[in-house]
Structure 1
Amino acid sequence: MASLEEIKQTRLEKKNKLEQKGINPYPADVDFSHSLKEVIEKFEENLEVKLVGRIMSLRGQGALLFFNFFDGTETFQGVLKKDIIGDDKFDFFEEVVDIGDFIEVSGKLFTTKRGQQSVEVSDWRIISKTLRPLPEKWHGLQDIEQKYRKRYLDVLMDSDSFKLFQIRAKVVSKIREILNEEDFMEVETPILQSQASGAMAETFKTHLNDYDMDMVLRISLEAELKIIMAGGYPAVYEIGKNFRNEGSDSTHMQEFTMLEWYKAYKDLNYNLELTERMIKTLAAEVVGKMQFKIVGADEREVEIDLDGEWKRVKFNDLILENTGMNPEGASRDDIEAKSLELGFDKNEVKNISDGNLLDFIFKKSSRNKIINPTFVTHYPGTLKPLAIQNEDGTAEVAQLIIAGAEITNQYAELIDPVVQKELLEKQAQLKAEGDKETMDYNNEFVEAMEYGMPPMTGFGMGIDRLVAILTEKPNLRDTVFFPIVKPVDRQN
């Protein structure tokens, strides 16, 4: 078997042969009469067509050559007959064309004796000569790391991967359609920020030379979107990238795509109803089904059903049900003891707030047991300092949990500037005391709130997580074109 370098050299010689004959192997004047999908849908015997695509397979039988080519819409068969196209064009095709090359063919449509719709080629030309061979057709890329590093080959050789990213695009498009019908306005907020806010996360840091100031990549869309709401817009949304300089696993990435929206004069019930309707619509209209088999948070495969009415249950009720401890009456000692029992680091437990310890208890005892869509409501108020605070110490919030994973965050948004300032100052104090799971104080955000914000509800959802569910993928990396991977020279 020839080595990669030998194959590249042979293909380079074929490229040179084309150029020596005055043929540009990368012409600009490419044209076609039909996409391959249109040809299949509107197939008509003897119809003259001009088609383009990439050769995915090639085989010969004496004076006949058969090839399958793909244009991004469909795969179709081309047939070269020496007695039709002539010796010179037939032989030259054999000399210079390889699997992976892009070609333009002219000819008429016909059906083979085996019933295969095809184009009988009367003329052809290469429109992009390739120098590297494609992965073996039937096996594609088997190494998962190679799939992530060379996604372009993965989607080219694996039709399921190719379709996944079409589904992702349709999901995002449908989300926009749904929100636009609800009279939301799409906006853009800055990725480069002088201060991170809106979430509790480590940042990526950089420096703006022109202003000689340190900057960070945003970790959330929230603060800026709510500041926009202070300007009088009744409903806004953004689909954009967030960046968190933290660990990664099958359910977390340092770079991820978020949808956030805010709607004035609506409450949390409206939020939950829209969320349920939106996700059900995406499943039914984009994917065409409501039941999915996915790998849950505990690494077991589970079957989820998005149909039917989604349950709503309180955070404290779940902890009580699964641990026997009622957070409403629990002392600090009770909370610490339960956290240690469930595996919390004994060296860190004294530095962590009650709310964050309760969140740990919930995740360890309860979250993984939730399979079908469930809105968990009334989280501890200290965990949600940007939401309305209830008198019982909980926040007017909900999270959608599916198969043990958090899919959405939904708030009745806090708009009282005095309370907001106090809560953010408390967060800053907790951070100073060693609790890393806290939020920075944002003066600009508080100032905008002092000018007045309307009553509103807000929503945040990871697009990648939703797509993973709808495409039944176990790893978020499977849902993005370019997941972060270590350089090859740093693998060990």
Structure 2
Amino acid sequence: MSDTDNLCFDATKIDKLQELREHGVTAYPYTFERKDTVREIRERFAGIGHEKSAEEVSTAGRIYVVRQHGKTIFADMGDSDGKIQLYLRKNDLGEEQFDLFRQYIDAGDIVGVVGHVFRTKMGEITIWVDRFELLTKSICPLPEKFHGLKNVEARYRQRYLDLIMNEDSRETFRTRSRIISLLRQFLFERDYLEFETPTLQPIYGGANARPFTTHHHALDQKLYLRIAPELYLKRLVVGGFDKVFEIAKNFRNEDIDTNHNPEFSMVEIYEAYRDYNDMMDLTEGIFSYLVEEVHGKITCSFAGHDLDFARPWRRLTMEEAVREYAGIDIHAHSVEELRAFGLAHCVEGSESAATRGEFLALFFDHFGEKHLIQPTFVYDFPIENSPLAKKHREKEGLTERFELFIAGMEMANGFSELNDPLDQKARLEAQDAKRRRGDLEAQMIDYDFINALGYGMPPTGGVGIGIDRLVMLLTGKESIKEILLFPQMKTASPGQNEPEPGQNNGEE
């Protein structure tokens, strides 16, 4: 089966298209003077009565339903703002135009209309059409009108069709756009500068993750899609920009599940002369602000949980979390005893862990995360899994690092940023050694970044927030695929791209 066999083209619709061309009708004109959106018409004529308005309106959109009643036609037309009813009469349009609409305009077609607004006896705001123009002839059938596009696989693979048919999906992505705009506004109002750093990098770093690799032929050089913008943003702090952020697309060659997609969005924020306590405060402020702006209150629901974002939020150290949820004090046991405990409880990684710090991180991941429902900061991470965070000022073997958890999901990760070039060199060399031994998620050593630190980076706090999970939280969607316009999916099998059966041709 060839790729063309997967096309949705409908023979009847193609025949109509050919007939229109034979009649000299342009099925794909170049422009239309749309003066009003559906929302504007509904707002402006909210108080309209049964008499036609004196004011003329001009709008355009997709036809969803056509209902024919002899010499009159009712149709539902929609744009990005919503839907409105159309009313067409043979006496107004003339026989030729009326028959053109009746015979050739189907659900899915895009039309422009000019007319006057009135309210039907059923109370529906309606456009009484004086003239119309076919703007786009659709040759693929829409799913059956009463059910829309419900197949989850089809919704993800054919997001354009999902957006055509499902208002809930359109609203989700409107909200996503608004969240990102509000996030920028929050940071701009606090004098942060937005920058763009390289997506293609000769050395990847800034997180522990397996990268995607590519090759630049002209340079004859291996390159990597970035896993994080961190090391480049810190270079900007070295260069004298004290408050910086980037909303970045990152790429990690990892599993796909309800919380992970190999291409994802993050915001990373850095501020000179701050530490991880300040970054926790900033993170609280961002989330509380966004929740209130999106929901009009300081609470929201997600995954069956009623979440309260009133500040301050709960904060506990990783050691406290492990004592509370795993029932074990890391410092009261030898490494051998910790390994036995981990193996007895099927904690992944217990076989190879060799230090108390490694077991602390493993036990928290296994026992703790799922219990953290209300917004909670877990802080003071072991140095073993925090190669870019500053050593704790008081606690040996730990770093000044935190993660934010909400509804059992990690939502943010921040540090007092390591700015000692010698310490950073030693830690990245240790990471690189692990990578050479086969750890696919260990970081490379970036000597230019170390060199930048050698020129002096001021005390700095930083935090990265996952935008996709943030949007999941604020829209109540429990799968990351619901809030990504085009999630990564396995290549479809033949026939898998076909829309659901059930064509609505606009006739009842």
Answer yes or no: is 1:287 the counterpart of 2:295: yes
Identity of counterpart residues, as a percentage?
35
Question: What is aligned with 2:364?
Answer: 362
Give the distance between the partners of 1:242 and 1:336, measured in 2 at CA.
Answer: 34
Q: How far apart are 1:438 and its partner, in Å?
A: 3.0
Amino acid in structure 2 at the alignment position of 1:8: D
The secondary structure found in structure 2 opposite 1:123 is strand
1:184-219 deviation digits (Å, cap 9, x = unpaired): 111111111111111111111111100101111111
**Aligned pair partner of 1:371 in 365, 370, 373:** 373
Q: What is the alpha-carbon distance in structure 1 between the residues aligned to residue 61 and residue 271 of structure 2?
A: 46
Equivalent position of 2:463 in the other structure: 459
Residue 264 (1) aligns with residue 272 (2): yes
Distance 1:116 1:330, change over 3 A: same
Tell me, what secondary structure is at the counterpart of 1:197?
Answer: coil
Match of 1:85 among 72, 93, 97: 93
1:133 corresponds in structure 2 to 141
Change in CA separation of 1:20 and 1:437 when aligned onto 2, cut-off 3 Å: closer
Q: 1:446 to 1:455 in 2, by over 3 A?
A: same
Residue of 241, 244, 247 corresponding to 2:249: 241
Q: Helix, strand or coil: the match of 2:84?
A: strand
Match of 2:24 in 1: 22
In the other structure, the counterpart of 1:444 is: 448
User: 1:32, 1:81 → 2: CA distance?
Assistant: 22
**Which region of structure 1 is more displaced relative to structure 2, 358-367 or 215-224?**
358-367
Mapped partners of 1:150, 1:336: distance in 2: 48
> Residue deviations 1:221-247, cap 9 Å, x none?
111110111111111110111111111
Quick check: 1:251–1:475 contact (8 Å CA) kept in 2? yes
Give, in whole Å, the separation in 1 of the partners of 2:441 and 2:199.
22
| Alpha carbons of structure 1 residues 13 and 263: separation in structure 2 relative to 1, 3 Å | same
1:388 aligns with 2:390: yes
Which amino acid is the alignment partner of residue 314 of structure 1? T
The alignment partner of 1:401 has SS state of strand
- 93-102 vs 265-274, greater mean Cα deviation: 265-274
For residues 41 and 160 of structure 2, what CA distance do their matches in structure 1 show?
25
1:37-74 residue CA offsets vs partner (Å, 9 max, x unmatched): 10011115332111111001111112111111111112
- The residue number in structure 2 matching 1:321 is 324
In 2, the alpha carbon distance for the partners of 1:18 and 1:383 equals 66
The 4+ residue runs of structure 1 with deviation greater than 4 A are: 4-7, 351-354, 432-437
Amino acid at match of 1:487: T
Alpha-carbon shift at residue 351 of structure 1 (Å): 5.9
What amino acid is aligned across from residue 337 of structure 2 in structure 1? D
Please identify, of 336-345 and 460-469, the stretch whose mean Cα deviation from structure 2 is larger: 336-345
Name the CA distance, whole Å, in 2 between partners of 1:325 and 1:435. Answer: 28
Match of residue 407 from structure 1: 411
- Assess if the C-alpha contact under 8 Å between 2:316 and 2:378 holds in 1: yes
Taking the aligned partners of 1:341 and 1:218, their CA distance within structure 2 comes to 38
Unaligned runs of 5+ in 1: 296-300
Match of 1:62 in 2: 70
Give 2:321's aligned amino acid: L
- Give the C-alpha shift of residue 475 in structure 1: 0.7
Q: Distance in 2 between matches of 1:73 and 1:9?
A: 31
1:303 maps to what in 2?
306
SS in 1 for 2:426: helix
Asked if structure 2 preserves the Cα contact closer than 8 Å seen for 1:352 and 1:435, the reply is no
Asked if structure 1 preserves the Cα contact closer than 8 Å seen for 2:271 and 2:460, the reply is yes
Residue 11 (structure 1) aligns with:
13
Q: 1:98 aligns with which of 78, 92, 106?
A: 106
Structure 2 CA distance for aligned equivalents of residues 201 and 143 of structure 1? 33
Count how many residue pairs are aligned between Structure 1 and Structure 2: 483
Which shifted more, 133-142 or 456-465? 133-142
Shift of 1:341: 2.4
Unaligned 5+ runs, structure 2: 1-5, 497-508
Match runs of 1:97-176 below 5 Å: 97-176=105-184
Distance in 2, Cα, partners of 1:176 & 1:345: 39
Shift of 1:285: 0.9
Contact kept? 2:284, 2:311, Cα under 8 Å: no
TM-score normalised by the chain length of structure 2: 0.91
Per the alignment, residue 298 of structure 1 pairs with none
Task: Say whether the 8 Å CA contact 1:78–1:119 is kept in structure 2.
Answer: yes
Superposed displacement of residue 249, structure 1: 0.9
CA distance in 2, matches of 1:274, 1:203: 29
Q: Secondary structure at the match of 2:346?
A: coil
Kindly state the Cα deviation for residue 352 of structure 1 after the two structures are TM-superposed.
6.0
For residues 257 and 8 of structure 2, the distance between their equivalents in structure 1, rounded to whole angstroms, comes to: 39
Q: 1:490 to 1:49 in 2, by over 3 A?
A: closer
Partner SS for 1:325:
coil
- The aligned residue for residue 484 of structure 1 is 488
2:455 maps to a residue whose letter is: Y
Distance 1:355 1:248 in 2: 28
Give secondary structure in 2 for the equivalent of 1:489.
Answer: coil
- RMSD of aligned residue pairs (Cα, Å): 2.0
Instruction: Provide Cα deviations, 1:343-373, integer angstroms capped at 9, x if missing partner.
Output: 1357x72366654432221011111011000
2:3 equivalent in structure 1 = none
TM-score by length of 1: 0.94
436-445 vs 211-220, which deviates more? 436-445
Alpha-carbon distance between aligned partners in 1 of 2:366 and 2:89, rounded to the nearest angstrom: 67
